[in-house]
Amino acid sequence: MTLIKRWMLFMFICMFASNSYAWIKIEKANKGLFGYKYVNEDHTSGSHMLACAEPGWNGCNWDNPPTFDDGNFLDLDDYLEIESEVESKIESGVSSGDFLFETIYVEFTYDQDLDRLVMKLYSKDEARELGLL
């Protein structure tokens, strides 16, 4: 293998490795008066996503609450506390931002026109590695 090919392979592995961090993402959009029609949960490569959309009858809840790769665990009360903090910030006029909840770094953004809320959670160490903290 030529030097240039080895270099390209190395760069490719570096690029892939730098994208393989873990997070928990929660996305809510266009909720109905009584809940959501679609609640989708996905757990792939250490990352976890919960997406809830359209008017229906379901709560926006995990069936399998995720944990971070480093073992950091969030129970239902933690989620509720994080959600409550995000909601109170948005209600006070802050449509996007971040904060630390114990050992969890939380990013959030709300688009009123789309009525779409996205929250992304990282472990504190992960956030540091990614330069978010």
Partner 1 sequence: MKKLSLFLVALTISSTSFCDIIVTKKNKGLFGYRYVSETVAEGTHTLSCNDPGFSSCKSELGSYNVDGELVLSHEEFSVIDETVNESIDEGNSNGKFVYDDKCLVVYSYSESNDQLTYRVYSISEAQENNLL
Interacting residues with partner 1 (CB under 8 A): 28, 31-34, 55-57, 87, 90-91, 110, 112-113, 115, 117
Shortest Å distance, C-beta 96 to partner 1:
14
Minimum distance of partner 1 from residue 52's CB (angstroms)? 10
Sheet holding 47-55, edge to edge: 36-44, 47-55, 24-29, 116-123, 104-111, 96-101
CB nearer partner 1, residue 46 or residue 56: 56
- Pick the closer one to partner 1 by CB: 16 or 57: 57
| Token pair of 96 as six digits | 């996007």
- Residues 111 and 104: their CA atoms lie apart, in Å, by 23
The one-letter amino acid at 43 = H
Q: How far is the CB of 24 from partner 1 (least distance, A)?
A: 19
Q: Of the two residues 53 and 127, which places its CB atom closer to partner 1 in the complex?
A: 53
Least Å distance, CB 100 to partner 1, is 23
CB of 47 closer than 8 Å to CB of 25:
yes
Judged by beta carbon, residue 120 or residue 124, the one nearer partner 1 is 120
As beta bridge partners, residue 38 has 53
Under 8 Å between Cβ of 27 and 51: yes
What's the closest the beta carbon of residue 70 comes to partner 1, in angstroms? 31
Select 70 or 111, whichever has its Cβ closest to partner 1.
111
Tokens representing 18 are 């730098």
